[in-house]
Structure 1
Amino acid sequence: MAGEPQPDCLFCKIVSGDIPATVVHETETTVAFRDINPQAPTHVLVIPKAHYPDAQTLAVAEPQIAADVLNEAGRVAAQDTIDGTGYRIVFNTGSGAGQTVFHAHAHVLGGRGLNWPPG
């Protein structure tokens, strides 16, 4: 069921503490942790603690938690002092867009020039 932890989900296991992660911030509804394969000097994932397979599903089911994810992305950028130079927030939705973990998550990227268009 959407919102409930999934036993085979990597990010649900990070939320529960069963898999370690370098957590940089945690709130009642979100967890932010460093990506294990960073694509920029700052590359942090911000996830809702509740399991939703992608950003669209999260936004429809829990708009406040989706807003919490975006708010935390901004907090992470400020914490890593990239808020003044610019940063990118990326939600990959679906395997064709590069989503590999099907638990909604935002990538916060910065600390170097980020060319457009990406990919």
Structure 2
Amino acid sequence: MKYSDNNHLERDPTLIIYCKEWCEYLQKLVNLLRVKQQAFTFIDLRFDTKQAKALISELGNPLILPVLFLNGTYHEKPPISKVKSILDRYQWRKQVDHKYYGTLPAKNHQ
């Protein structure tokens, strides 16, 4: 029997990376995202001052870059292990949903 309410289903995490320059941390993060086959959007704040101002108003000044926006939550330079843990949790939930409910997560579910 399939569960009729899709609200339990997890979708792929939305990931946006805000940064100003390429750094060792960012290299490690991008490598992790490639291994996990996780899509992301990169916004270079040097060229998007409007977005930089919006982040400062949200998080305060100074920003600790890079800032990750992961499914509605900002993370200022989180440990790589924390990002890996979050992505692993979403992958696990996707597998459970597919196995027990016979479907992949709904794209419009939040």
TM-score (norm 2): 0.29
Which has the greater radius of gyration? 2
- Bigger share in strand: 1
- Bigger share in helix: 2
